[in-house]
């Protein structure tokens, strides 16, 4: 941990030395928010988000903050190790082409609904009819299942230190998660206005009491979105494995690792049962396996958690942005970013200035980010990108 700020109602524990003013102000807002338990934790990849910093962890007592989970509920990363070694560049290009044909990217969906057996079941004791937003989006969700989405979502083929090939997918809950997040944030804003909560609207931290009908419904619908995001990654990974089998048979796949980094869950910390909000943060309990992806062109890591209570048993979810999307498009040099990737012989997706929003230069240095959380996680496996498909 770099330092602790003690000037606010609750302490802010920081794992980064160079936090920008906007992100720090959001952390200060959280530290002064009523219902915060013990302190705020800010991970080394943190940057500004809606209401709460991305890369932030906050525990609350008997309330939930939809914006402290975010609009891509359940977003996360899954990865699979293979028995493959040394896939040549020509085969990689064929695999990349097949991925683009089989898995819809960006705003694209499947033309036909996917079988309902691939959709997650509602939480135990709940039916779809009990989940108003999920039930209204269920039909369209079947066309979005097994699709990557846009932004910083990606599919990568990677290689570890022993030359084994790994597959990695970063994706979330698509439009279902967005709709749930927006609906309950609107309800939270109305609740805060009607009950004069005292939380400034400008903080974007409207909340719902956990003992309210809306608060309970949000938790149930949020959990469905977490499960949908996991099912989405699972289906894409199965289709990616089929593609690998087609071009590289025989190959064996090890057990899939799947880690979400946008959610809220009940946990016990500092003597109390609280709701831990992780927004762009990965759980890192003692012995737990996690994934910290880099940007295209930089390493990703499989890590093991150390269970540090000061971070609420959490770590970073990636490298973290250092430039906003528009800022990256304005300021980064396209040819320089292409050269960085091509010098590493990476089959990449940087083709125009629009793609610069996800270029290496738009992100923090993953090695520095990892070094700043030695008290949170231990790296187990380093993965270098060979080929990248971006949403």
Nearest to 153 by CA among 358, 347, 385, 290: 358
Q: In terms of DSSP bridges, do strands 36-47 and 12-14 run parallel, antiparallel, or are they unpaired?
A: parallel
Cα gap 41→51, rounded to integer Å: 15
Cα gap 235→217, rounded to integer Å: 27
Q: Is the dihedral of CA 359, 362, 366, 368 positive or negative?
A: positive
Cα gap 170→307, rounded to integer Å: 24
Nearest to 316 by CA among 288, 282, 284: 282
Which DSSP category does 335 fall into? H
CA triple 207-32-278, angle to 5 deg: 55
Among residues 47, 109, 261, 317, the one annotated as catalytic is 317
Nearest to 128 by CA among 184, 137, 239: 137
Residue with tokens 């794992």: 15
Q: Look up 261 and say whether it is catalytic.
A: no
Token pair of 117 as six digits: 């057996």
| DSSP H helical ranges for 7-51 | 21-31
CB 218 within 8 A of CB 246: no
Cα gap 216→225, rounded to integer Å: 14
Give residues with Cβ within 8 angstroms of 214, minimum separation 6: 184, 187, 188, 191, 208
Q: Which residues are bridge partners to 316 per DSSP? A: 281
Helices then strands, each counted (H, E), the chain: 8, 17
**Positions marked catalytic:** 317
């Amino acid at each position: 941990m770099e330092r602790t700020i003690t000037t606010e109602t609750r302490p802010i524990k920081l794992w980064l030395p160079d936090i920008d003013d906007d992100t720090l102000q959001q952390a200060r807002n959280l530290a002064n928010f009523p219902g915060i338990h013990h302190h705020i934790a800010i991970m080394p990849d943190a940057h500004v988000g809606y209401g709460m910093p991305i890369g932030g962890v906050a525990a609350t007592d008997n309330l939930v903050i939809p914006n402290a989970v975010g609009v891509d509920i359940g977003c996360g990363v899954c990865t699979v190790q293979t028995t493959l070694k040394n896939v040549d560049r020509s085969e990689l290009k064929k695999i990349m082409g097949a991925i683009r044909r089989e898995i819809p990217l960006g705003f694209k969906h499947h033309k036909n609904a996917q079988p309902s057996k691939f959709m997650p079941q509602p939480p135990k004791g709940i039916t779809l009819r009990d989940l108003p937003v999920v039930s209204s989006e269920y039909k369209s969700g079947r066309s979005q299942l097994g699709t990557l989405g846009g932004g910083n979502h990606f599919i990568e083929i990677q290689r570890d230190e022993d030359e084994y090939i790994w597959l990695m997918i970063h994706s979330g809950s698509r439009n279902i998660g967005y709709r749930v997040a927006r609906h309950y944030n609107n309800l939270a804003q109305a609740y805060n206005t009607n009950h004069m909560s005292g939380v400034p609207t400008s903080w974007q931290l409207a909340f719902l009491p956990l003992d309210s009908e809306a608060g309970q419904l949000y938790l149930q619908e949020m959990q469905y979105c977490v499960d949908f995001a996991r099912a989405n990654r699972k289906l894409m990974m199965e289709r990616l494995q089929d593609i690998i089998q087609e071009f590289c048979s025989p190959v064996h796949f090890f057990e899939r690792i799947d880690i979400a980094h946008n959610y809220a869950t009940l946990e016990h910390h500092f003597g109390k049962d609280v709701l831990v909000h992780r927004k762009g943060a990965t759980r890192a309990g003692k012995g737990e396996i996690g994934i910290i992806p880099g940007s295209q062109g930089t390493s990703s890591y499989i890590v093991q958690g150390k269970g540090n209570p000061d971070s609420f048993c959490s770590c970073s979810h990636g490298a973290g942005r250092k430039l906003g999307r528009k800022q990256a498009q304005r300021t980064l040099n396209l040819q320089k970013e292409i050269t960085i990737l091509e010098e590493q012989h990476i089959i990449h997706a940087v083709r125009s200035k629009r793609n610069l929003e996800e270029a290496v230069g738009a992100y923090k240095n993953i090695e520095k980010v990892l070094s700043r959380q030695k008290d949170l996680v231990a790296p187990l496996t380093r993965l270098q990108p060979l080929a990248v498909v971006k949403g």
